[in-house]
Structure 1
């Protein structure tokens, strides 16, 4: 560490991770990016996410998803079906602060990694379970993929909506691209681990039980609130009365005007046309009632605009608007560069590529990625190191 540099937030914290899904893996990645030493425990044939498409050229052997989720982690292999593998994991857990996993209840009992066993053997270890429907209840043993979770949380009921529903009215219910629900579960698990680390300073280690369904359900809190008010949102009705996604001459932007000052900025942005100066439209409720009429005019105007120009003018006027950028545009964007959002790391089989570091800054700076994803078993030596760390305590107990 250079002189004057601030130590990573979780420097000195050791995390052991057993993951097969995105949620637990994302939780480990977030803690690793914040400075924790995160040790990924893999079966002899590797974490299944290593084989998850899409793959990266030139060899097309490296999973893009695994490269992101495992960046900065260390890899050891343990065959948990063997005594030696279980002993290796035990040595890691004895030295760890946090254990993140997506082991199912039956697996935990068979491996003596259930909450009671962990509490007895490793009293200072924080246990974080991340499962599709949580570790307790009638669905604790259920398997689920992302598409199941996005619909189990209610979000799928609302997709596609807005402009997408209008352009493609015959599309079936969809899911958000990628692993939206599982990423939400990973965020909640990481926050749970951080809270438990703080709590451990004032008491014992806690167990954290995360349901990905619950985590994703929280994203749709407004839809639930409106349901409580008697209004059932649906993909055909869930949209802003005006604004939302707009087609421009060279791409798409998103417009959101929730406040009066934002409406007034939009009036200026559009050149103060006569119809927008109608005194009745100074009332937000009236604008809502006439939303379809307003939207027709906004969309016709937007088709004549260039995205970069209209976004710059909108933001100068305090109108919330942003462009939908291509992946290349996101990587080269001035905002993303200023925040050091993407950082280059070495990816085995793919070379040096930029990877998203973290969606946050700590003390005004982006957390740095220490490395790319590890090779399978690259840090096998850690098993011996952790065992040596435990030996004095074991010897003391024996004496």
Structure 2
């Protein structure tokens, strides 16, 4: 196999874990990305023309490289492999023979010909954790369906609930929306990672397992609360779904989101607003009464918010213990004091050699580090290095 002998990931949470990734979708690639961030050695098996994600927008203005691919694949390695050829089968077998986890989004209809069907994989590699990541899973009536981000977002129910709150009030005639970017893909990838690690942890007792991940199911789990409400006859909809009071507010110079769920947070909010007379009404001590009069309360809050600057509101809210956060631009996030203090971004190199900062992962560990930075792999770099 072509894994590097010297591992720069020593001391990281998944040091020594070897992963083979065959991905054409964000969900599978993101699963590999998170494993790489935790220190796993991740090898992408790409077709001769390269992963389609290499051409996925948005493209960087200076180099024309895919920003999405750069984020999803930094810290991985690349190896060209066509499993429909004898040579590709040999490469696939060699890589899987030394791997712990396989992340694969090959369509069900194409798996047998490529030797990637679960039965063949388990028969040949009994200790391998084989994680399938498909739009609607690899079993059931939709197993052969394709699905893009917009399909999965709506199939998972989130599209039915958007836009809501202030967005719906401002633009009541808008049709259902797709969340920007790859919300469904990231949910599917996160689910795949947790399933992969659970199965890998159980290998000593249970051997290798086949894990079937449905991106639709992963999105559906995000709206679990809306599903739970079906039990009491309540059907959530974008026209009615909102916090009873709180939500998104427009300030003097921006937007913020406010959420108060506990009595102590309500008391802190009243303090933030300067203890107005309307908030001192005895009936509003009852959280149920506050819920019933949410629209009235929001009217008062909006009036106050519109007269104050967002940074001043958020700073004071944090001092008082009011859950509030500003809606920030990407530049504000990447250059934010909080993000820099926590070391959320790390330098990396694009395939072209240009330096960029990338988010390492949406989590951190208290006792062990994450993989910082890395580089975006050139297509087939591992084979080229082996023959150099």
Which residue pairs with 1:208 in the alignment? Answer: 211
The partner residue of 1:68 within 66, 71, 93 is 71
| Helix, strand or coil at the partner of 1:75 | strand
Which residue pairs with 1:393 in the alignment? Answer: none
Aligned residues of 2:84 and 2:113 also touching (Cα < 8 A)? no
Which residue pairs with 2:52 in the alignment? Answer: 48
Distance 1:114 1:188 in 2: 21
Structure 2: gaps of 5 or more residues: 1-8
TM superposition shift of 1:372: 2.1
| Helix, strand or coil at the partner of 2:48 | coil
The partner residue of 1:327 within 313, 327, 330 is 330
The partner residue of 2:262 within 259, 262, 286 is 259
TM superposition shift of 1:167: 0.6
The superposition leaves residues 175-230 of structure 1 with CA deviations (integer Å, 9 ceiling, x where unpaired) of 11111111111011011110011100222111110000111100000000011111
Count of aligned pairs between the two proteins:
379
Distance 1:189 1:10 in 2: 16
Distance 1:41 1:382 in 2: 15
Aligned residues of 2:23 and 2:29 also touching (Cα < 8 A)? yes
| Helix, strand or coil at the partner of 1:201 | helix
The partner residue of 1:275 within 272, 275, 278 is 278
Distance 2:360 2:23 in 1: 20
Query: What RMSD, in angstroms, separates the aligned Cα atoms of the two structures?
Result: 1.5
TM-score (norm 1): 0.92
The superposition leaves residues 118-159 of structure 1 with CA deviations (integer Å, 9 ceiling, x where unpaired) of 111111111000001111111111000010001001111000
Aligned residues of 1:88 and 1:383 also touching (Cα < 8 A)? no
Aligned residues of 1:358 and 1:366 also touching (Cα < 8 A)? no
The partner residue of 1:34 within 32, 38, 43 is 38
| Helix, strand or coil at the partner of 2:381 | coil
Distance 2:101 2:10 in 1: 23
Which residue pairs with 2:5 in the alignment? Answer: none
Distance 2:257 2:353 in 1: 34
Which residue pairs with 2:152 in the alignment? Answer: 149
Distance 2:206 2:298 in 1: 56
Matched, 1:25 2:8: no
TM superposition shift of 1:381: 5.4
Distance 1:170 1:378 in 2: 51
Structure 1: gaps of 5 or more residues: 385-399
Q: 1:13 to 1:237 in 2, by over 3 A?
A: same
| Helix, strand or coil at the partner of 2:212 | strand
TM superposition shift of 1:6: 7.1
Matched, 1:170 2:188: no
Distance 1:263 1:324 in 2: 22
TM superposition shift of 1:260: 0.7
Which residue pairs with 1:336 in the alignment? Answer: 339
Matched, 1:224 2:218: no
Aligned residues of 1:58 and 1:350 also touching (Cα < 8 A)? no
Aligned residues of 2:79 and 2:383 also touching (Cα < 8 A)? yes
TM superposition shift of 1:90: 1.3
Distance 1:103 1:258 in 2: 44
